[in-house]
């Protein structure tokens, strides 16, 4: 009898607690208590990380597992062969900029939306930020450095200079790469056709009319 009395009392207290209406104050108090508990757990995890102690509840990150893994790739860029050891996740954009130091190709949105990173792969324009470098072994890759240089400009480059087809210049290499590819693509001869063909290249300065004039100048002389 003496042993069951406390159980009955505890049951009555639990029932009373369950029937207690939730007020705004009690709700906030419970949320606050939960936040303290979560925060304490996060601090404990951070302390383990700082001390180098293992956290048995944390699974190893995928990036950690793949760190240090490289693949050997042979790339043909602007007519030169390069043997590279790169992370298999390296984009063609990061490869030409960071590994080959060909920084004329620009990183804009890094999501394939602005066209600043346009290069040619087997003569066709490609958003290099969306393409893995390791997938292009054995293919001919051309960057803006392979199109022309001071003293021997490509006709498109010369036309951009003549028609002021740039302002800040950040998008210009991508615009030129797309325009050069356009010369060999089956688009019509009107300005609207050029606008459609160049719609993947954004100029935040708004030099579109001059860009179209430059392209049409070369197409008319072709």
Would you say 18 and 28 are in contact if contact means Cβ atoms under 8 Å apart? no
pLDDT of residue 57: 41
Which CATH number is 68-146's, of 3.10.20.30, 3.40.50.10140, 1.10.645.10, 3.40.50.300? Answer: 3.10.20.30
- Backbone phi, psi, residue 142, to 5°: -125, 130
Would you say 107 and 97 are in contact if contact means Cβ atoms under 8 Å apart? yes
Which token pair is 13? Answer: 């207290």
Fold category of 147-222 in CATH: DNA polymerase; domain 1 (1.10.150)
User: What average pLDDT does the segment 194-222 reach?
Assistant: 94
Q: Decide if pLDDT at 55 tops 80.
A: no
Which residue reads 């007020």 in tokens? 23
Confidence of residue 221 (pLDDT cuts 50, 70, 90): confident
Domain-wise residue ranges, the chain: 24-54, 68-146, 147-222
Which token pair is 209? Answer: 């009319």
Confidence of residue 40 (pLDDT cuts 50, 70, 90): very low
> What pairs with residue 126 in β-bridges?
119
Q: Fill in the DSSP letter of residue 132.
A: B
Confidence of residue 103 (pLDDT cuts 50, 70, 90): very high
Confidence of residue 129 (pLDDT cuts 50, 70, 90): very high
Would you say 215 and 154 are in contact if contact means Cβ atoms under 8 Å apart? no
Q: Which residue has the higher pLDDT, 55 or 96?
A: 96
User: What average pLDDT does the segment 178-186 reach?
Assistant: 96
**pTM of the entire structure?**
0.69
């Amino acid at each position: 009898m003496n042993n069951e009395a406390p159980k009955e009392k505890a049951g009555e207290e639990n029932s009373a607690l369950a029937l207690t209406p939730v007020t705004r104050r009690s709700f906030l108090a419970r949320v606050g208590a939960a936040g303290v508990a979560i925060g304490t757990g996060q601090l404990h995890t951070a302390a383990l990380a700082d001390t180098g102690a293992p956290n048995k509840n944390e699974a190893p990150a995928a990036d950690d597992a793949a760190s240090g893994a490289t693949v050997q790739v042979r790339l043909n860029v602007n007519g030169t062969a390069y043997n590279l050891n790169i992370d298999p996740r390296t984009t063609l954009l990061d490869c030409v900029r960071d590994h080959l130091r060909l920084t004329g190709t620009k990183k804009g949105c890094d999501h394939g939306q602005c066209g600043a990173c346009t290069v040619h792969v087997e003569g066709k324009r490609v958003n290099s930020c969306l393409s893995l470098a390791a997938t292009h072994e054995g293919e001919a890759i051309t960057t803006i450095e392979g199109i022309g240089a001071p003293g021997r400009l490509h006709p498109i480059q010369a036309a951009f200079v003549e028609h002021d087809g740039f302002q800040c210049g950040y998008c210009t290499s991508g615009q030129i790469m797309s325009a050069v590819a356009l010369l060999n693509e089956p688009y019509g001869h009107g300005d609207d056709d050029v606008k459609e063909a160049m719609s993947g290249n954004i100029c935040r300065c708004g030099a579109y009319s001059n860009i179209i004039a430059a392209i049409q100048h070369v197409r008319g002389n072709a």
